[in-house]
Amino acid sequence: MKGLSAKKKEPKKGGQSRNLGVYIWKHKYLYLMLVPAVVYYIIFCYVPMYGVSIAFKDFNPMLGIMKSPWIGFEVFEKLFSMDKFYSVFWNTIRISIIRLIFGFPFPIIIALLLNELHHDKFKRVLQTAVYIPNFISWVVVGGILTSILSMDSGIVNGIITSLGFKPIGFLTDEKFFVPTMVVSMIWKTFGWNTIIYLAAITGIDSQLYEAATVDGANRWQKLLHITLPCIRSIIIVVLITRIGSLMQAGFEQIFVLYHPGVYGTADIIDTYVYRMGLQEGKFELATAVGLFKSVINFCLLVAANKIARMAGEEGIY
């Protein structure tokens, strides 16, 4: 009897698919809004993935991808025997970690500070001010930085020399290039994550703060015991995505700002792939480097998500 009752309780596959169909139809307009995003990723992300096979071929543009002969892992063997590859790999890791250490907590701090403002008009002005740089192209930002940080005519070096110090090569000296790049990255991008954290903070139940006030908690105690714990899941999700893109050290920014004089510290995997693939025509080598980077990113994403789930968080999947 127990076996029969257990059998009856098992949901039928047909019923599950029917329920799924009913659910999708019920929310058809939401799924309809999702279609453009799905089509975008299919066309621009999944369809081009067949080009990854170039990394395993002796690619000849005249023959095309499909007709070029297979050579297995010879390209990767050649890649891992190149000293330059390990140099750009280390630069990518170093720059990404510096960006993560200094860039990740900054929008959280700004969001918490903005949340403490009670003057609504002033708060909206500040929100707009921190978000505007996100819409400025790196080409424009690169031009601005080149103008204000120039050793000859830049405003910053003008102030430094007027104080009796030697001008600093912010964009020409390898010692200062990475810090300059990290600071400019934080200035341009922190507004986006700040808005995300502010949205999470506004979703916190106000009754929690009222109860804490009754218990005699001050602002600092409310921040530590209510605000941060309530937005912890959002912080974890953003951190996982940042770790999953650790090998993305900011191609656009570096490409606009760097030059051969700072290749020793600024040349990353993406710029190396660009030079090999488009300038030198070594398409199979550039594809192998890009595939290697993608595999590392995928492994980091899975590991970070696994650690988050082990710590009791939901993660991103």
Give per-residue pLDDT as tens, 212-244.
888 888 888 888 888 888 888 888 888 888 888
How much is the average pLDDT of 84-105?
A: 89
Closest CA to 287 of 42, 53, 41: 53
pTM passes above 0.75:
yes
Residue 70, phi then psi, degrees to nearest 5: -75, 140
Q: With beta carbons less than 8 A apart as the criterion, state whether 138 and 252 touch.
A: yes
- Contacts (Cβ under 8 Å, ≥6 apart) of 65: 50, 51, 53, 54, 57, 59
How much is the average pLDDT of 81-93?
A: 87
Neighbours of 91 (CB within 10 A): 22
Q: With beta carbons less than 8 A apart as the criterion, state whether 69 and 58 touch.
A: yes
Please calculate the CA angle 84-88-92 and round it to the nearest 5 degrees: 170
pLDDT at 267: 85
Average pLDDT, the chain: 84
- What CA–CA distance (Å, rounded) separates 260 from 245? 26
pLDDT at 2: 46
5 confidence band (pLDDT: 50, 70, 90): very low
